[in-house]
Amino acid sequence: MKKDRSFARLLLVLLPLAFLTACSPAAESEGEEHGEEHGGSSSIISLTKEQIELMKITYAKPLERQFTGYLMAPARIEAMPKKRADIGTLISGRVTSLYVQEGDRVKAGQALFEIQGLEIGEIKGEFIRAQAALHSAKANYERQQKLLKENIAAQKAYIDARAAFDEARAAFSAADQRLHSIGISDAEAEKLIQLATGKTSHDSTTPTATLKIYAPISGIISKFSISLGQLIEPGTDLMEIVDIARVWVVADIYEKDLSAVKLGQRVEVETEAWPGEVFEGKLEFISAVVDEMTRTVKVRSTADNPEEKLRPEMYATMRIFHEKGRNSVVIPEDALQSDDSGNFVFVKTEEEAGENDHAEEEGDDHGEENEHGERVSFRKVPVSPGLRQSGLVEIVAGLRGDEEIVTSGAFFLKSEMTKESFGDHH
């Protein structure tokens, strides 16, 4: 019953206030005066002491202390560039075999798929011919060199053999580079060399116009856009492999907070997907440039992810801990409010001290309100928050430190101010 009576008293106090604020010509006139003097009536709100007591609004000066806290910033998960690979081909061909599918785990060097094409056969044939020519030229050069030492061969024959050998070696080098440029492995190239030099049976290693594509890294096939019989063109991305055992966590901090971050600071990361679970790391990168559109600076940490809970493009929250304390103005987190205009607090002010005299001139319309006695005014003051810790938030700009600010009930004041602003416009 006591709770019901308190609630009824609160309604009796608030309803006349809301009505008078929205409908009273005096309120409109008063708002215009503050608009000229302070930039708009919505920046100040006045309440009686009884209203303040019923709403449980308290105010006090901010704390001044050495503050060791953290900077909080929205973040996202990214795969590390060296742990991510796009898979395609540098030559055209038709897919003849598929060895994997999306979601498979693969190891570096594992075959992914095979293509067939005329150009592949031509490149392999060119390599075999170049190797055979080199093998022959080298043998002739070595023979002429031996004969020259024994004074059996002429100098000119030796010089011609040396020139042919050098030419064959250059041709083979070019053919070898072209062979490897399309993805032929060293092991397959060695088989072709053995075939060219007659060290392997021709029937068992006859080159075909096919090419196997292998995984360059170990990881998971995260993207898959390939099918049997598909005609592949050079430069087409067919698969993606990612290794997410370790991932990047990238955040954007405002330039005003740049002084609070240093390389090596401890970082904690949380995600909506895994509430309550904290992933730790250290700050490894701070961008050298500020984004001209968002006025933010990119920072990055690396997180160990052995269970692969963190996935690329997942949203997260990064906390960057400031290890060394610094002298700061500190307020309770409940005192900090925000709206479309940004962050702000309510500061006790004397700017509307004459409002009661003005209200008395309005006669009986304000009689009931004046019964509540002296009024207290609060101004909406923009601030810039910094580090946070244990329910406290650092204010890096906007407060001197000697003001009295609303420490509890600020949300209610914000709601009342929104109602008054709505009434002013209607």
Segments of the chain assigned to CATH 2.40.420.20: 44-67+326-351+375-423
Query: Of residues 145 and 240, which shows the higher confidence score?
Result: 240
Return the top range by mean pLDDT from 147-161, 178-192, 270-284, 403-417.
Answer: 270-284
Per-residue DSSP letter, 135: H
Query: Above pLDDT 70, what percent of the chain?
Result: 78
Can you tell me the distance from the alpha carbon of 10 to that of 24, in angstroms, rounded to the nearest whole number? 21
CA-based radius of gyration for the chain: 39
pLDDT per residue as tens digits for the range 355-374: 444 444 444 444 444 444 68
Q: Is the pLDDT of residue 261 over 80?
A: yes
CATH number of 70-81+243-321: 2.40.30.170
Q: Measure CA of the first residue to CA of the last residue in the chain; give whole Å.
A: 37
| Whether this model's pTM surpasses 0.75 | no
CB proximity list for 313: less than 8 A, separation 6 or greater: 76, 77, 78
Longest dimension (CA), the chain: 135
Span 305-333, pLDDT tens digits: 999 999 999 999 999 987 666 678 888 88
Question: Residue 93: beta bridge partners?
Answer: 232
Helix-then-strand count for the chain, H and E: 9, 24
Reply yes or no on whether the pLDDT at 288 is more than 90: yes
Task: Give the fold, CATH level 3, of 44-67+326-351+375-423.
Answer: 2.40.420
More confident residue, 25 or 173: 173
- Identify the pLDDT of residue 20: 39
List where CATH 2.40.30.170 sits in the chain.
70-81+243-321
- The candidate with the shortest Cα–Cα distance to 16, out of 356, 417, 366, is 366
87: CB partners within 8 A, 6+ apart: 112, 213, 215, 216, 237, 238, 239, 240, 241
Q: What is the pLDDT of residues 7-20, one digit of tens each?
A: 445 444 444 444 43
Q: What is the pLDDT of residues 184-240, one digit of tens each?
A: 878 888 888 887 666 655 554 556 789 999 999 999 999 999 999 999 999 899 999
Residues of the chain with CATH 1.10.287: 119-201
What are the distances in angstroms from CA 217 to CA 286, 310, 362, 389?
Answer: 28, 19, 81, 42
Torsional class of 335: left (φ above 0), alpha (ψ -120 to 50), beta (otherwise):
alpha
What would the mean pLDDT of 277-301 be, rounded to a whole number? 95
114 in Cβ contact with 96 (< 8 Å): yes
Spatial separation of the C-alpha atoms in residues 260 and 392, rounded to whole Å: 16
> Is pLDDT at 285 greater than 90 in this prediction?
yes
Taking all residues of the chain, what is their mean pLDDT, rounded to a whole number? 81
CATH of segment(s) 119-201: 1.10.287
